[in-house]
Structures are given as structure tokens and as C-alpha cells.
Structure 1
Amino acid sequence: MGRKQASASVAATTRPAAVCIVSGGLDSVCYAAMLAREGFDIHMITFAYGQRAAREIRAARRFARLLGAGDYKIVDIGFMRSLYGRSNALTDRSQKLSREFEQSLVVPIRNAIFITIASAWAMSIDARVVAYGAHAGDVPHYADCRPAFASALASALNMADADSIASGKRHEIEVTSPAARGMDKSALLSKGYAILGDRLFETWSCYSDGVRAGKSGYVHCGVCESCINRKMAFKAANIGDRTRYAA
């Protein structure tokens, strides 16, 4: 094979890269699996931001291996917990986790921080896509899950490195999510389950770090808003829920 033919063959098999923000929960894991199935070379990033649910980070690490991520990074921004103070219940352990949506569940501009850091990595490795797991059901409650926000942030981030993009040194990034595709949690779950099967029950959705269940370890609390949404999504998708809950 000549040099030109070899170069053409490599170009034809090169897959586009995507940086996937993965918490270890259902939504982000399912979306990363979808992008991998669609032909993206996925790179995964998880943030330790002082959240109560440290077990979600362990789950994310497990799925990075399972999905064959080209690279995986856990970024420690635990200092954010001191900045957040008592602003939200996901980092302030003294607050009760609600069963339904309340403003206490909103972590100030969390996705803006995650996407900005992930985009810096994406631009550095020539990934054109930054993905996060926001779905249509998040849109009414979380402003930083809305497609309009993601689009505006992508524009700002591309503007921030416009000269490098104009010179060809870097490329524009697109911020994508299930919400931008009009997918709700159950539809996303169905797609993920078709790819991952029962391994999907290894994701961690609970806002807490779980409840001790004897010698078998920790299980989802079953009563926080995220656990309840998880139960409802499996039911809506007509998939038997094998997640272990304390309640």
C-alpha cells in the first residue's frame, strides 16, 4: 500500500472524539454509551466537587473501563464545597434531601463549571463534542440543563479561543445533551439499557452516599428525589428495576 493510500485509510477510520461528563448516574452513563455506539471515540471526565454521593465517582470509574473510554479523568474541585456553603443540599450534609424537586437541589452553575473545564480538555485534544446527561425532564427545574444555556455557553467558550480557532490550531466545540435531542429520562434509559443491559444497575443515582445494608454494603436510599426519579424512569421504560434501595 502506497503512502497516499495508507493516509487515506487512516483518515477513513478515524473516529470523531467526544468528551463526556459522567457523574456515575443513569443519565450521563447512558448518554456516553449512546455516543460510543454512534461511533464517537469517547473520553470521560468526572468531577469531585464536594458532593455527598462519593459512590457515584466509583461508578463513573467503573463505566469508563466498561465503555472503553480512550482516557478518563477525575478532576478534584472539592474546594467548591466551601464556596457553596449552605446554598444547596447536595454539598451541605446538614440539610435534608427532599423527595420532590426543591431549589435546595440546585447547585449554583454546576454544569457551567463542568462544561467549561471539559471544553478546555476537548479543545486540547481536538474533540469537537462535549456531552453531558441533561434530559428533557431536567429542563423545567434546572436552568443549566436547558439546550439554550448549553448553546449559549458553547458560543461563549468558542469566542474565548476565537483566534486559535480562526488560525486552525483548534476547532469549535459543540455542547450536546439528551435534552437537545428531546429525550426524557425513560427514553434515555431505554437506549442505555439496550447497550449495557443489567450493568446499568451498577450506576449510582442517590443524592446521598447510600444506606448501609448489612454485610452486603451500601444501597440507594430510595427516598430522595433522584432515587424516586430513577424508580419512575425504569417503570416508564417498562424495565424491571434491579437497583437495591433501602426504602
Structure 2
Amino acid sequence: MARQAAAVCIVSGGLDSVCFAATLAKEYDVYMMTFAYGQRAEREISAARYFAKALKAREHRVIDISFMKSLYGKSNALTDKSQKLTADFSQNLVVPIRNAIFITIASAWAMSINARIVAYGAHAGDAPHYADCRPGFAKAIADALNVADADSIAQGTRQEIAVISPAVQGLDKAALLKMGHEILGDRLFRTWSCYSNGKAHCGRCESCINRQMAFTGAQIDDRTRYAT
């Protein structure tokens, strides 16, 4: 099948973004972008590098924006190691406008290489708690970014981008996992979901628990190694 337009996929190295990139790689030339933003879970970056090769990404950029950690201060537990990582959703798990920053940078790349799609891994289950995972946000930021380069778009030197996600497509984590597993099989167990940076997933943080629930919901045996 002939390739379609290019897609820039924001891939953290976790289940959601890897599974979504895998589905897009069937149709698009995939360019992957991963952000080092001072997160505790540095292991996810290594996972992203692995999947860039597994999915035969045309290019993979790891973008160092670790200076953001100093700006975030104590605003969230994902960059501030002094804060407790909770098993249930807590507001301190929200990194201020993280997806807005990622999407803006990825969109600059997309417009530069004439990619039509910017994708990130937010799924329908994220939407109740994370405002920058909601379909309304994806549309709004795409509209704003297209306005920001409206003259180039009008002249035909760039093309409009669309920001898409599993949430935009109505997919929850379990449905997304099923799709990714059909493509990647047991390689999915090389994804990193944990908010911590241990040798194994902690099994206690909200992200680990969501991972476990997704495998249960998808009826796939969870072979992830958990510390507890």
C-alpha cells in the first residue's frame, strides 16, 4: 500500500504513545519525538529509542528541555522527587501544560518537514483528569498553531496540521493496547509506564495501576515485571 503523508508522533516510551505510533506507522511515514523534561522516569526515554527502531521511524529526535524542571519547581510529582507518587489520581500528577509544550515543538518540526499529522498518546480514560488530553484541547491547539503560520499555509509553502490522539478517536487504554499488541506483540512489555525510575515497574503508582487494568481489560496476560 502506498504511503500517505508523514506524521510526527510524540512518543514517551509508555504504552499509550507507543501503541498509537504503531497504529499510525501502518499508514504514515512516522517521525518520532521524545522529550527529556526532567521527569523522574528517565527509563521511558530508552524505551522510546527502542520503539523508534522497532517501528522503523524515519527519524527519532530526543529533545532536551530539562530546564523545565527548574520552572516547574514543586508544582508536580513527576519532576519533583520529594513528592509522593499516589496510587489514585491526584492533582500533583498534572505537569503544567506539558502536552501543550510537546505539541507546539512537535508541530514546528511537522511544519518544517511538511508533515500533516501531529500525534500524541492521550486516550479517552485520560480526559476526565487531564485537560490537555481532551479532544477539545487537541482541536484548539491545532487551530492556534495553524493560525500562527497562516501566511505560509495560505501561500502553500506549509500545510495545515491536525493534532490527533486516541482520545480524539474515542479509544480508551484497553482498546488502544489491543491494537498495539496486534502489531508489536510481546515487544510491548519493553514499554515503560512507571512514574519512578527503578529496575522494574513499581506496581504501586497510578500509572502502573492503570497499566495493569489495561492489560486486564484487553484480556492480555500482563508479563510486565513489577517490584510489588
What does residue 5 of structure 1 align with?
Answer: none
1: distance between equivalents of 2:124 and 2:133?
Answer: 8
2:127 is aligned with 1:139? yes
What does residue 34 of structure 1 align with?
Answer: 23
Gaps of 5+ in 2: none
Higher relative helix content = 1
Quote how far apart the aligned CAs of 1:71 are.
Answer: 0.5
State the SS of the aligned residue for 1:136: coil
What does residue 213 of structure 2 align with?
Answer: 232
What does residue 59 of structure 1 align with?
Answer: 47
Q: Which amino acid aligns with 1:88?
A: N
2: distance between equivalents of 1:180 and 1:169?
Answer: 27
1: distance between equivalents of 2:3 and 2:63?
Answer: 27
2:220 is aligned with 1:246? no
State the SS of the aligned residue for 2:8: strand
Q: Deviations over 1:161-212 (max 9, x none)?
A: 00000000000000000001100000000000000000000000000102xx
Q: Percent identity?
A: 71
RMSD: 0.8
Partners of 2:36 and 2:45 within 8 A in 1? yes
Find the partner of 1:72 among 36, 60, 63: 60
Partners of 2:15 and 2:177 within 8 A in 1? yes
Quote how far apart the aligned CAs of 1:16 are.
Answer: 1.0
Q: Which amino acid aligns with 2:220?
A: I
What does residue 19 of structure 1 align with?
Answer: 8
Quote how far apart the aligned CAs of 1:13 are.
Answer: 4.0
2: distance between equivalents of 1:148 and 1:14?
Answer: 29
The TM-score normalised by the length of structure 1 is 0.91
What does residue 3 of structure 1 align with?
Answer: none
Gaps of 5+ in 1: 1-11, 211-217
Q: Deviations over 1:81-108 (max 9, x none)?
A: 0000000000000001000000000000
Where do residues 113-192 of structure 1 align in structure 2 (5 Å cutoff)?
Answer: 113-192=101-180
1: distance between equivalents of 2:193 and 2:144?
Answer: 31
State the aligned residue count.
Answer: 228
Q: Which protein shows a greater Rg?
A: 1
Structure 1 segments of 4+ aligned residues over 2 angstroms from their partners: 12-15
